[in-house]
Chain A
Amino acid sequence: MAAVGASPSTLTDAAEVVALLVLLSEFAMLRSSLSRSQVRLYAFQSLCVSVLAAFVAATRHIGALYVLMSLSFVLKVIVVPTIILRLVREVRVDVTASHRLGVASMVLLAIVLSVFGVFVFGRLPIHSRSLPILALALAAAVILVAFLLVIVRNDVVSQAVGFFSLENGVSLASLVLAAGLPLIVEVAFLFDLLVAVVVFGVLMRVHHGRARTLSTRALDRLQG
């Protein structure tokens, strides 16, 4: 009891809790019906990933990770959500409620997917020195649930947020597998993300300009 927070297993537990929060926020994105709250959840998820990056940087003494962490913090927690929120506000479409399935069945489907991801990746004979293997399994679950989010929700904001959170899952996995990945590769990842933001921004604007909605259902309709 005396060495609260100091023992390595307690720290690992805390890291596991943060990794779990990443997955839970992915689930929350899947079920939330407001575009605004989806974007905020994405910001929270990115914050969790940044905290994990800081944790790995501190425990394994990798200086480059600090740079990466602050870069991704500024971009993914502040800049990207602000841009998306502003776009959402401009088009004044608030409630999307674009579920193709009922929320409960969607969550059950996502549970099945994440169980699959966790079991498959948890079985891999990988030993990481930076984070527990559980974090890798959770990252796999995050990626699968993000795919589900993109598939079952048919509005542009969900698909953008799903894509961005996919990137969060990938960075979580890379933190476990290759914490010392060269800075330049990771910065390229972030650059990719920025390009995606631009693309989705254009998509949102153009689509809303043509169809007066953010729902992708309008794309099925014949134009004549």
Chain B
Amino acid sequence: MAGTELAPAEIQVLQDLTILVFAPFVSGAIAHLEARLQGRRGPRILQPYYDLAKLFRKETLVPEDASWVFLAGPVVAFACYLTVPLLIPVLTAYPLPLGYIGDILGGAFILALAGFAVALAAVETGGPYAQLGSSRAMTFAALVEPSILFITFTVALVTTTDLPYFEAAQVRSSFGQAIYPAHLLATVAFFLVVLSDTGRIPVETHASTLEFGMIDEARTLEHSGPPFALLKWGSAMKQLILYVILINVFAAPWGLAGSRQLGPVLLAIPIFIGKALCVGAIFAVIDNSFSKLRLFKITEFMAAAFLLAVLAVLVLYLGGR
């Protein structure tokens, strides 16, 4: 059994399935841990799956004036989230054939397209909170963009390409590379970007019910039934995709499958989920130890991420490595 070789296409499908199947699990585990840290019993770890199952059985309600965009938005976003795992190293250390069709910027573009589709669907409803949420989400996404650009520059200067697989290989190549200042700075900057993109505490209160503080969450207020399920599932997948990039490209690209054998590839799944849970635990601790920034102070947070990313490029410029 362990001797069987998988075709690259099969591994690629497996990468997608890993993200698809385990994203709600990771979200549920983080929510559970967060509740535990606050002294509550918290929801079951598998609760997101029950939520999704329930939502898929419900009927879809569409606001009177909304057009087909309202229903297409969630589907397009979901398709985008299924595309990104083809480009990034989820399970394997070596590049898969489709890994070359898009670099880090390509992945960022697809994620941005998903955000755009959701925002468009939200604006289509005419609901004030949904519109407020999408306007805020687009504004802050634009503010995060410079940091992502400079992180990409760092990767490009280190590897002379901007394919995520090569950055991961570079980090794996030696311990010195992993603690190289530019790499550390870029990793921390990306960590801050993930923090803001997944709607975590210094930027947004996760799972809050107060509309005025909402950014990402407010966009989905008008959706119901299966499209809402797709949106929830999609946002869990987006979170796990960002974790993949943080872990398997920057922070800890170890434990990935080095061959096409069935055994190592399957083994890479639990290792990755374990690493994702560790990162999720860090996020849960941050959620519990900081307070949310006021909306107009979020730019300060983005400025910090930008500072780290710029310093990373500067260090590379002088370090000449």
Contacts and interface: CB of A to CB of B under 8 A. Distances in A.
Contact of A10 (B179, B300, B302, B306): B179
A20 B315 contact: yes
Contacts, number: 67
A195 interface: no
Given A10-B175, A17-B179, A104 B318 contact: no
Interface in A11-36: 13-14, 16-17, 20, 23-24, 27, 31
A19 to B, nearest CB: 8
Contact of B175 (A4, A17, A23, A102): A4
Nearest to B319: A134
A14 B184 CA distance: 11
A134 B310 contact: no
Interface size class of chain B, counting residues whose CB lies under 8 Å from the partner chain: 20 to 34
A107 B303 contact: yes
A118 B314 contact: yes
A168 to B, nearest CB: 18
Interface in A35-58: none
Nearest to B176: A10
Given A111-B306, A134-B319, A20 B176 contact: no
B320 to A, nearest CB: 9
B317 interface: yes
B45 to A, nearest CB: 36
Overall SS of chain A's interface: helix
A7 B303 contact: no
Most buried by A among B184, B306, B314: B314
Nearest to A121: B318
Contacts of A119: 317
A1 interface: yes
Interface string A90-113: 000000000000111001101100
B180 interface: yes
B299 interface: yes
Interface of B: 174-176, 179-181, 184-185, 297, 299-300, 302-304, 306-308, 310-311, 314-315, 317-319
